Amino acid sequence: MNSCKDWWKRTIAYEIYPSSFQDSNGDGFGDIKGIIRRLDHLQSLSVGALWLTPVYASPMVDNGYDVSDFYKINPLYGTMDDMDNLIAEAAKRNIRIVMDLVFNHTSDQCQWFLESRKSQNNPKSDWYIWRDAIEGASGREVPNNWRGIFGSSVWEWCKEREQYYMHTFATQQPDLNWENPEVRKALYDIANFWINKGVGGFRIDAIPYIKKPADFKSGKPDASDGMVSVHTMTVNTSGILDFLQEFKVNVTEGKDVFTVAEANGVGPEDLKFWVGEKGVFDMLFEFGHLHDVELWCKPSPYGISDFKRALIASQRAIANNGWYPAFFENHDKPRCVHNFFSPAVAENPETNKLAAKAMAALLFTLRGTPFIYQGQEIGMTNVKWNSIDKYDEVNSKAQYKFAIAEGHTPEEAMGFVNRFSRDNSRTPMQWDSSNNAGFTAGKPWIHLNENYTQINVAAEENAPDSTLNWFRNLIKFRSNSTDLLEGAFEAILEGHKQLMAYRRGHNITVVINLSEEPVVLSDKELAELGEKNILVSNYDGFSNSENRQKMCKSQIRPLEALILN
């Protein structure tokens, strides 16, 4: 087991969405035994940290992010013995398990909430966020106009208590009251339970929402429904860092584990308070570079310049204090080629492959720990289903309904869902071209992507030019480069509208054409790059000392990624 200090800075992290990774018993859902079966694949990618989205007991309203018991494993995924076996088998391959902590809310079937909802006077009555109704012209009204992440009001009436409870996400996911010290201690106890099990770290879900403003006042409406996003009203409320410093002291301080928190809404200027020596976490998933769209039918303009600006700002913010989790895909986002490139690129197999390789070159050469999302290493793509009934996740259905309410046609609403749905990243892992892509012997819980016969691990395993082997070679290249593991990041050609270019350490220069058009470099731009050897190109592969070429050409091809020295 890798136990060197800050081992997580040098490793490769990999995220698994357990329902869709590998089924071992034919019920159509991925499970823990299936993950064990595929550990050798992860080892071939030099994975050292394996993040599992929640596998705890759950009614699965939000695919496990509605936890009913953090001390039990969801029978859909297996048993606690299976979990112990996974931790042990992963350790044999120098892989440490990273658990997902969902500490903003629980399931409404959690015993804590079942007790809390009984009355306004019981041992857990103050474990969740309860508010009285407001008397309006039409009778009982909700406490404010906040709209939840999944649409509709954040408030749900509880007849037993004759009060509303708050849910930032689904109705079945009531928010915990972090102001109550008993709640905080219970959550710290859960994290320490898993540390004692031998896990190597935690990804912490939706953490910017745990602190609520004391006045709970209504906000300025942002849509025709007269409501305002709960994100706008609650994200990173003053005082949240006090809670998180307490979490650090009680859970992770002095232990060989790392933390990476989901923190959309934390800007580069605030990173110093969240990560680094005095920060509350080791790393922070921020989303400025991902074109994070809250209302899918109202996407903001986003281009190469926005993407570059966000990445460079983040790299600079942690240059001297903190560490960065480099990522372009996860279980909540579309596949990266669809997210960052036009449909013309994403839907053409050849340009899709070039773009996937370009994004991989960026992923493994930024300063930070690279996070791969399952299927990214083989270039899995978005789906394009023509019916909302094919989609499983709750937000896709809510966004479709919202788009219709905003006056869009069903076809337009489906276009938004196709583009942004979380189900794009949740289709089953494509292992081979056999029935159900080798994922299950049963009926998959969600439809497969129809291109699995062309894009799959088995097909790419022995193809030298495959996306999978490109990933493996880049990972090996990174592991052998002190510049990439430890070197500083320095942006160059920063004002260029098509190129992402930077230096790492003393010897590595990276140039990536993020556009669909060739780039002709001026003499000044060539001079700024300097006279370099081409080590890596996603058009031409990896060079060696015999075939190494000088970077003397003035044209960089569309979607070309170059690593130079």
Separation between Cα atoms, residue 487 and residue 497, nearest integer Å: 25
Separation between Cα atoms, residue 484 and residue 504, nearest integer Å: 6
Residue holding tokens 């494993």?
73
- Asked if 312 and 356 count as a contact pair (C-beta separation under 8 A), the reply is no
- Asked if 421 and 413 count as a contact pair (C-beta separation under 8 A), the reply is no
485: amino acid identity, one letter: L
556: amino acid identity, one letter: I
Q: What's the burial of 259, exposed, middle or buried (CB within 10 Å: 0-12/13-18/19+)? A: buried
318 phi, psi to nearest 5 deg: -110, 15
Q: Residue 10 has what pLDDT?
A: 97
Buried b (16+ CB within 10 A) or exposed e, 439-465: bbeeebbbebbebbeebbbebbeeeee
What crossing angle do the helices spanning 467-479 and 349-363 adopt, rounded to 10°?
Answer: 20
Strands 134-136 and 163-166: unpaired
Q: Residue 2 has what pLDDT?
A: 57
- Asked if 274 and 263 count as a contact pair (C-beta separation under 8 A), the reply is yes
* pTM for this entry: 0.94
Q: What is the CA radius of gyration of the chain?
A: 24
Residue 493 backbone zone (phi > 0: left; psi -120 to 50: alpha; other: beta) = left
283 phi, psi to nearest 5 deg: -145, 165
Residue 558 backbone zone (phi > 0: left; psi -120 to 50: alpha; other: beta) = beta
Q: Which has the closest alpha carbon to 127: 147, 113, 106?
A: 113
Q: Residue 549 has what pLDDT?
A: 63
Four-residue CA torsion sign, 171, 70, 206, 144? positive
Query: Is position 215 annotated as part of the catalytic site?
Result: no
Spatial strand order of the sheet with 369-373 comes to: 283-285, 258-262, 201-205, 96-102, 47-52, 12-16, 369-373, 325-326
Buried b (16+ CB within 10 A) or exposed e, 410-424: eeebbbbbbbbbbbb
Which one of the listed residues 23, 62, 205, 377 is annotated catalytic? Answer: 205
Say whether 286 sits in a helix, a strand or coil: coil
Which one of the listed residues 62, 262, 286, 393 is annotated catalytic? Answer: 262
Q: Residue 222 has what pLDDT?
A: 94
pLDDT tens track, the chain, 565 positions: 555 779 999 999 999 999 999 999 999 999 999 999 999 999 999 999 999 999 999 999 999 999 999 999 999 999 999 999 999 999 999 999 999 999 999 999 999 999 999 999 999 999 999 999 998 877 899 999 999 999 899 999 999 999 999 999 999 999 999 999 999 999 999 999 999 999 999 999 999 999 999 999 999 999 999 999 999 999 999 999 999 999 999 999 999 999 999 988 887 778 888 998 889 999 999 888 988 888 999 998 888 999 999 999 999 988 988 899 999 999 999 999 999 999 999 999 999 999 999 999 999 999 999 999 999 999 999 998 999 999 988 889 999 999 999 999 999 999 999 999 999 999 999 999 999 999 999 999 999 999 999 999 999 998 999 999 999 999 999 999 999 999 999 999 999 999 999 999 999 999 999 999 999 999 999 989 888 899 999 999 887 654 556 665 678 999 999 999 9
What does 74-87 look like in DSSP terms, one character per residue? Answer: -TTT--HHHHHHHH
DSSP 249: I
Query: Is position 81 annotated as part of the catalytic site?
Result: no
